[in-house]
Chain A
Amino acid sequence: MDSFLQHPAFQGGVAPFVAGLMVAAVLGRARLGGLAVAAGYAVAIALASGVAFSPLTALRKVALLALAAPLAGIAIDFALRSGRALVIVVAAVCGALTVWVFWSVLQHKVPAEAALLGGGAALYVAWLVVATMALSAAPVRAGAAALVLGLGTGISAILAASALLGLYGIGLAAGAGGFLLWQMVTGRTIAAGATLTLSVGLAGGLFGASALFLAKLPGYVPIVLALVPLAARLPVPPRFPIWAQAIVLSAYCFVLAVLAFVLTRQGVAPPA
């Protein structure tokens, strides 16, 4: 049993997927189905590295913010009026938090490099928050973006030498897979809201930034991953059933993920 629990496929794939599917099934009617994605990566984090916050390392700050993101999303969905101004404020806060997360890494670098890396990572996370929150009212599109952003980040992180960050990203994708599959099977959409999209934008962004800072992810790969939420906005035939929409939208996004894999592979281990 222990060896099963410790298998990476279970930690990053099976368990997060089951958690995401169960959350979508149980909480979907209560407009909390968007928690499926956070359930996915929370399970992956708990199984792969445990939940601890002392000392508060960069990776633990990532976990802390990833776990806090769905709570902030619920507050936005249920207590605040979501609008463009709020999204911009949330994105700016997430960008600032990104600098806080990686401050312990940035302080070892020369100021110009620290400013470039810190600013770039903050911009990446802030952009992902804006771009994913724009999908809040489109649960299938949001689910497809989450699925592929998680896979793209996770597999790129593995190629960039960090299996742990890979499991985090794939855990996010697995939770999104549960969220999407429940909609595909039932033929009914589940509210995504900021509960899902803020979780995807912030956690997905921080996982990618972590692979940049703490592993070997080339700096241009996040630029490709940043386009995933835009690909999820491409048109699909309106009469397509939900399952077909999910497949088509995921396929659009997956093109970018494949490009990210190729660029990562070329960047970290160029062919001889």
Chain B
Amino acid sequence: MHRKLAATALALPLAAGAQPATYEIDPDHTFPHFMIQHLGVSWMHGRFNKTSGKLVLDRAAKTGSVEVTIETASVDTGAHELRGRTRTRDEHLRTADFFNVQEFPTMTYKGSAKWNGEWPSEVQGQLTLLGVTRPVTLKVDSFGCAPDPRIKGKREVCGANASGSFKRSDFGMKFAIPGVSDEIRLQVQLEALRPL
């Protein structure tokens, strides 16, 4: 499938150009998902619902970069009911115990791509969370570009899935370790658009 996408994209006249191309991140199809172990027994899933940023690709030079800004208040772990408590889990995650969204409304990831063949295979970047910047490397599990069929190919869409992990304590988020694990696993789904 990915080879097909790649072949399609390479067939695009403009895509074959030597200039770096800038793509705007599509917030409806870009979601940083995270997994965190709860009480040592299961990996809970959550995601951030609001993202923005850009992807820059130079296929001729085989270089690229990505910048993503994530609104921390958009954290969503699917637990929206109070169930007798005074706050939902997401409300707790927004406090200073975890993401401290009032003081740090956004977190950012900026990285540059390492290529393997026709497409990026890894992003070496810097994650800034809670005012702390640390390196976080993401493995690109899949990548592809294609004309957007929804508007008859008048724009190009590139998409990727990437994964990685980091320790939240490295960013000063230490509350409830180890009941809520120090390790956070990431699975990022990203799409970005560029008019042709």
Contacts and interface: CB of A to CB of B under 8 A. Distances in A.
B86 A108 contact: no
Interface residues of A, number: 28
B103 A159 contact: no
Contact of A268 (B87, B96, B130, B179): B87
Interface string B96-112: 11001011010000000
Interface string B2-46: 000000000000000000000000000000000000000000000
A231 interface: no
A161 B132 contact: no
Contacts of A52: 172
A268 B82 CA distance: 11
A165 interface: yes
B86 A268 contact: yes
B155 interface: no
A270 to B, nearest CB: 10
18 contacts: A6-B177, A6-B178, A48-B175, A55-B130, A57-B100, A57-B130, A160-B86, A161-B87, A161-B92, A162-B95, A162-B96, A163-B92, A164-B175, A165-B97, A213-B103, A214-B102, A216-B91, A268-B86
Interface of A: 6, 48-50, 52, 55, 57-59, 104-105, 108, 159-165, 210, 213-216, 264-265, 268-269
Given A57-B100, A105-B102, 5 more contacts: A57-B131, A163-B175, A164-B97, A165-B96, A269-B87
Interface of B: 82, 85-87, 91-92, 94-97, 100, 102-103, 105, 130-132, 172, 174-179
